[in-house]
Structure 1
């Protein structure tokens, strides 16, 4: 439209400049242009656009989902734009494929934050029949996506298979003498450990009888989630707290399958939620519901108050898994001191998430003075984290400092090892 209008204006100016050309020629040119514009407007009229969208009502955080759009009464060349809410990311520009007046598009988006997010509007873009106009109507989309904690590993059955194989498989049944809980008596045969002989019952029976023991169950496992502002930092396109929740839910399911009682504790500037240890899948369902409702907060964590409260609420020796993070050794001093108090009574696993981008920055040679400064800062941060981890290890705390994609496997592995050794 602008190109045609500019050309008409230029021709009119030339006609006026020449002076000898009749004025009617210039006026006629604009009349022709007006008629063409009016004809284009009439030819491009179409029925009201109706849009439908097909999408799952629920999606796991960190995963992708397809939104299928269908527009009726659509022109041949149709495109669009969409504004994503904070918890959903995806391509802004949309390319439609039109067939017989129906345009379709599939948009792949990624859930990056928990919560309920609504894609409210969609802007459609198309040009008129002769290209004089560009139409940009705004349609109400109203696609509501509920982003929930990721339990894909639980649904797939991988964790159930691993835990059942480790705790209830052939290996445990043949591991006679391992454990502290009495299971049954059986005749002593050559090759068994002499320490398993029950001498009193052997005397009554007048033949050697051995005790078969198995690992004690019904231990308390507490999932403690730091929900302070440091856990809002994004790693791999998601906040740390969401990576932590994914690993926490997987471990809670493993503990529930393993026969233990699972509790939940969340805190930031003060203690927020505490659920007493509960057995079975009921505990997992409660934990999933509580973690889905956790907000993204901007408050600094008070580790002293949080750990003191947790210690007071867990009088029985328990396995406590703490998901948290720190900036440097100075900010970690109070954290280390209070974890040391907890470690006197309980068995602790300290979980932090390593930033892969920081590791890559250290591995790459700097190309400028700014790069040198960033490299020095990254090395200093890594060294300070290592110092904190070493101090916690010397206190008897199990430390897991790894990348987000590896934390779940390592955590469940440590849990099964603790169960096998009966350290709780």
Structure 2
């Protein structure tokens, strides 16, 4: 620009700065460009939904000051751009936190690299193919830890085992009647044949049917605590199914949305749990509205024997819950029900926080109304004899297992 304004001989030399700049750029390119030789990725084969794992990247032939950014798939979440740490022999490594937010098989397609040339005239942004896969599966951390097994075994087969004998409804054995035993336990027919008093010893009945019913409609896709409600429900369902199998009961599962989807008859032991885990891992996220009338009617028809049915579902208000309550009332005439609802922690925080403006006051009124309507629905269900488990995602599993153990101890099934 100066050469053009100055005119004369300076105008003829106007190309010189551009030539120098081009030469510097060529030299900078020759000194700075390095094509990475190889990319190695270390990743876990599986991650429990809601948990965080570490991804490790190693690049050979890496230039100094290397930055990178991942193309994150839908089911995994991580940070933005991250830096590589230079090591020996032009090798750079990086470690990235990866949180599992959706069940399924997720594949990393590309890794974008970025580094600046030595003279800072150029910036290189190549793309490498990653090709790593991670499967996000339902969370069974509590099952693997042994905490549920210890709790159930100590509750049902520890100190309470002695109390359960003689107080149940299932025949255990015959024994001689001794003073201090309840007279009602005497078996008079066998006593007459033996010509001595014989008492029947009973124990708590086992082998009950426990069915986990999961509503997979669009309301269960709402995120609370960073995960969809259906994933919190699946985690609690698997933990309770494991507790039921340890408790000697038969476990089945059922899913529905706009119509019934899958049903598995109650089966004993760890086989039922493995089948349930495999099924929940493949449970899709759908956007269909739930038809409670069709679904619960079908479930009632498929379970002729009295069972403990654990229903995981959600509703918006008393109007939308009307059909749900009516069908649960029909189901409760034959079966024992546990109704599991997930409480939104953000809603409770909103109610407990004083509003700063008019919009905040309106949100507070709406939140209070929603909480009151949920309470009315729970009161109606409670009058039908339904056990209510209304808890935050972090507490729902413990509350549900406690409700199951109480039902077992009281022999309500």
| Short-chain TM bin | over 0.9
Structure 2 CA distance, aligned partners of 1:401 and 1:311? 24
The answer to whether the 8 Å contact 1:228/1:299 transfers is: yes
The answer to whether the 8 Å contact 2:36/2:62 transfers is: no
Structure 1 CA distance, aligned partners of 2:46 and 2:17? 59
Give the match for residue 287 of structure 1: 276
**What is the 5 A alignment of 1:177-326?**
177-202=166-191, 208-326=197-315
Structure 2 CA distance, aligned partners of 1:194 and 1:98? 83
- Report how far residue 202 of structure 1 moved: 4.7
Give the match for residue 148 of structure 2: 159
Give the match for residue 356 of structure 2: 367
- Report how far residue 169 of structure 1 moved: 1.3
- Report how far residue 41 of structure 1 moved: 1.1
- Report how far residue 46 of structure 1 moved: 2.4
Q: Does 1:378 align with 2:367?
A: yes
Give the match for residue 62 of structure 1: 50
Q: How many residue pairs end up in the alignment? A: 412
Q: Does 1:90 align with 2:72?
A: no
Gaps (5+ residues) in structure 1?
Answer: 1-12
The answer to whether the 8 Å contact 1:228/1:297 transfers is: yes
Relative to the length of structure 2, the TM-score reads 0.95
Q: Does 1:99 align with 2:87?
A: yes
Give the match for residue 31 of structure 1: 19
Structure 2 CA distance, aligned partners of 1:301 and 1:174? 43
SS in 2 for 1:142: coil
Structure 1 CA distance, aligned partners of 2:148 and 2:110? 40
Structure 2 CA distance, aligned partners of 1:67 and 1:279? 38
Give the match for residue 74 of structure 1: 62
SS in 1 for 2:118: coil
The answer to whether the 8 Å contact 2:213/2:253 transfers is: yes
SS in 2 for 1:254: helix
Q: Which moved more, 1:388-397 or 1:51-60?
A: 51-60
- Report how far residue 137 of structure 1 moved: 0.3
> Which string of whole-angstrom CA distances, capped at 9 and with x for unpartnered residues, describes residues 17-51 of structure 1?
34477446544333332222211111113244421
SS in 2 for 1:345: coil
1:348 pairs with one of 300, 315, 337: 337
Give the match for residue 417 of structure 1: 406
- Report how far residue 201 of structure 1 moved: 4.4
The answer to whether the 8 Å contact 1:66/1:107 transfers is: yes
SS in 1 for 2:93: strand
The answer to whether the 8 Å contact 2:165/2:204 transfers is: no
Give the match for residue 8 of structure 1: none
The answer to whether the 8 Å contact 1:188/1:197 transfers is: yes
Give the match for residue 326 of structure 2: 337
SS in 2 for 1:330: coil
> Which string of whole-angstrom CA distances, capped at 9 and with x for unpartnered residues, describes residues 355-379 of structure 1?
0000100000000111011111101
Structure 2 CA distance, aligned partners of 1:29 and 1:333? 79
- Report how far residue 191 of structure 1 moved: 4.5
Structure 1 CA distance, aligned partners of 2:162 and 2:190? 22
- Report how far residue 200 of structure 1 moved: 4.4
Give the match for residue 116 of structure 2: 127
Where in structure 1 do 4 or more consecutive aligned residues deviate above 6 Å? none
Give the match for residue 101 of structure 2: 112
